[in-house]
Amino acid sequence: MAGSKLKVIWSSFILVQDINDLLEVTEDHKVIYSKNLRLSPLEIFSDSINFNGDNQNLIVTLGGNKLVYYSDPQVNVLSRPALAPEDFNWESAYGLYVQGKEAMDQKLFSQAEEKLEASLKADHNYLPALIKMTELKYRNMLYSQALEFARRALSIDTQDGGANYYYGLVNAILGNTIDAKGLIAR
């Protein structure tokens, strides 16, 4: 890499604020570039230096630790599992619930409803699916249906936070003030 250049480009849109901090590039704990940056949001800074080192062993910092970038793609790689066990049953009540929950997280609501319905078909009293279906029906402004799912969930676990939350919200919308407040005669 004789005669190579290292180009440093910074845009303060990353932090969306004024920048008045030290930008440093290090290689093997040796500072090879240092510059105090004073930038407004969306302002771009660019510079280049002669560089003959290992471009996979660079660390770029701004303000000490406000932003830290490692050029080595293996740094900060998580060791947590990324794949489900091969024998996991995606057609079980739990497997279908997980698929429905993930679809909701991705805003794929019709797919979420399909998977949650399948989960409840596999086990009509599966509490997590009941609560997620309550949330989905509430989101779709189908309040009477949401209330039925919330009631069924609460009949299984009266202390469940999600079931109580949606039960209160739906009852408030439907004008059932006493139930919305959660007043329970014991």
How far apart are the C-alpha atoms of 119 and 114, rounded to whole Å?
9
Q: What is the DSSP letter of 36?
A: E
Residue ranges of the chain with per-residue pLDDT less than 70: 1-3, 12-15, 182-186
User: Which pLDDT tens digit goes with each residue over 37-46?
Assistant: 998 888 888 9
pLDDT at 108: 97
Q: What is the pLDDT of residue 136?
A: 98
Amino acid code (one letter) for 177: T
20 & 52 share domain: yes
pLDDT value at position 12?
A: 67
Return the CATH number at 158: 1.25.40.10
32 shares its domain with 99: no
Distance CA 53, CA 57 (A): 8
pLDDT in tens, 153-175: 999 999 999 999 999 999 999 99
pLDDT given for residue 185 in this prediction: 44
Residue 156 lies in a domain: yes
Specify the pLDDT at position 1.
Answer: 40
* Residues 101, 177 within the same domain: yes
Amino acid 158 reads T
Number of domains in the chain: 2
Residues in the chain: 186
| pLDDT given at position 171 | 96
d(CA 133, CA 137): 6
Q: Which residue segment(s) compose the domain that 111 sits in?
A: 93-181
The two tokens of residue 96 are: 């279908």
pLDDT at 18: 84
